[in-house]
Structure 1
Amino acid sequence: MSVGEDDDGARAELARRIAGEITLSSDPGATLRKWRTDFGVSQTELAGELGVSSSVISDYESGRRESPGIGLVSRVVTGLLDIDAARGGARIRQYARVVSAGFESDIVRDIREYPAAVPTERVYEALDATEIAPGERDTVNGHTVINSIEAITSLSSEEFYRLYGQSTDRALVFTGVTRGESPLVALRVVTPTPNAVILHGLDEGALWDHAAALARVDGFSLAVSTTDLEPALEVLRSL
């Protein structure tokens, strides 16, 4: 199954974004690795698509080789997009949804993509969050901060999915939470789930009894936070 014509514009825009991020990054290798893992592509698979050995990809990502030039960056981007297209184009279609999405400021407080994957614990440190249940993945590529009540009561499942931004490998921060039942139940109908969920506004003692169990079933890390949100957002925006 190939990507339809309606996704051509999204593919071109996504290609420009990836290439720009890698080229302008202070750590191009880490940014290349972030995008490769975000697409779910192994070093071996990407190397095969480019016709090089997997050690070449590894060397660039680790910084053992000098920063990739424009020519190689272009080949990497094309390779990632071609692999995604061959798989059905899910990643490209997700980006198409993002660029066409619009949310009121009372629903989304902040949405941001990071230039490279960030350890989840750094996001937790910024929010002074306490982890309740560990997740299956220990890094995130961005964050979305959501007004819990507004999002759950006014967004459809399709619109809710757009909150993931350009990557589902992210932290979702729900604000105004009293027990955590509603956001965790809402996440059950959204596939795939994020890497981490932070419930802001309550401590561990006030958390819904079944919250940790649901997080474990869906494989995401769950944390709670009561920190002052605005200073924490400033730290998150600097990641």
Structure 2
Amino acid sequence: MGGRGPKEELAEKIAGEITLSDDPGATLRKWRTDFDVSQTDLANELGVSSSVISDYESGRRESPGIGVVGRLVEGLLAIDERRGGDRIRQYGRVLSAGFESDVVYDLREYATSIRLGRLYDAIDATEITRGDTDRVSGHTVVDSVRAITKLSSEEFFRLYGQSTNRALVFTSVTRGESVAVALRVVNPTPNAVVLHGIEEESLWEHAPDLARIDGYSLSLTTAPLEDVLDELVRLE
């Protein structure tokens, strides 16, 4: 008998999070927005009025039971499949790499290597330090705080996927100090590091020098995370 696929694993994960949440409505809203599905689209998929979805998310309607949660999750996944299944594949890659989706948002390999400048243009990133190489063959988008606090050094290295020839995009960054220090003890380092959510004036003053020493390109972007994830999908 074959094992469960990424769709089934993701459905179980989402349903579990909603059911066990202290605020099921907020958790439902988080997943719906993560899938870029409007209340109206989800309501149409389930054959109910959009006010039903709104009432669940706001807590005006009693928390949905397991059966209703299952239908809501199936609706989200069905919409994603019709759109090409990008979110299902995204979470499938993360899960198959052995990570939780609250640590790693996306991990993928490209069919061919691409110019780093193309990736930076796509996510509106500004290069601060030029690296030793100007091409990448994949990317990983990771929550910096959760990665540094929860991952062992071996798990951290798995962020590289199939190759260090990639861009590591770190979110939840305040100054970039912890990322730069963490990368000092990881060998080898990636081709590129993108710090998401900070301006250049907020960057730790030693980060550019450490990037130069370790040979990776360092860049910053303040584009919304959803836009970054969407643009990275289009690079394939």
Q: Which runs of 5+ in 2 are unaligned?
A: 1-93
Q: Given the two structures, how large is their TM-score scaled by the length of structure 2?
A: 0.58
| Alpha-carbon distance between aligned partners in 1 of 2:122 and 2:170, rounded to the nearest angstrom | 15
Structure 2 CA distance, aligned partners of 1:230 and 1:139? 23
Residue 176 of structure 2 corresponds to 180
Cα distance in 2 for residues equivalent to 1:159 and 1:101 = 10
Aligned to 1:126: 122
SS at match of 2:198: coil
Give 1:209 deviation, angstroms. 0.3
Residue equivalent to 2:75? none
Q: C-alpha displacement at 1:100, in angstroms?
A: 7.3
Larger-gyration structure (1/2): 2
- Matching residue of 1:203: 199
SS in 2 for 1:187: helix
1:139 aligns with 2:150: no
Q: Normalising by structure 1, report the TM-score.
A: 0.58
Distance 1:154 1:202 in 2: 22
The alpha-carbon deviation at position 235 of structure 1 amounts to 1.5
Give 4+ residue runs of structure 1 displaced > 3 Å after superposition.
98-101
Task: Write the letter of the residue equivalent to 2:166.
Answer: R
Alpha-carbon distance change, 110 to 100 in structure 1, aligned in 2, over 3 angstroms? closer
| Larger relative contact order (Cα-Cα within 8 Å, sequence gap ≥ 6) | 1
Q: What is the alpha-carbon distance in structure 2 between the residues aligned to residue 99 and residue 127 of structure 1? A: 24
RMSD (Å) for aligned C-alpha atoms: 1.5
CA offset digits 1:111-145 (Å, max 9, x no partner): 01101001001111111111000000000000000
Within-5 A mapping of 1:1-239: 101-239=97-235
Give 3-state SS (helix, strand or coil) of 1:163's partner.
helix
Q: Is the 8 A contact 1:127 1:229 kept in 2?
A: no
CA drift of 1:220 comes to 0.2
Query: Cα 1:124–1:159, aligned 2, differ >3 Å: closer, same or farther?
Result: same
Check whether the contact 2:97–2:161 (CA below 8 A) recurs between aligned residues: no
Q: How many residues align?
A: 142
Identity of matched residues, % = 63
Match of 1:87 in 2: none
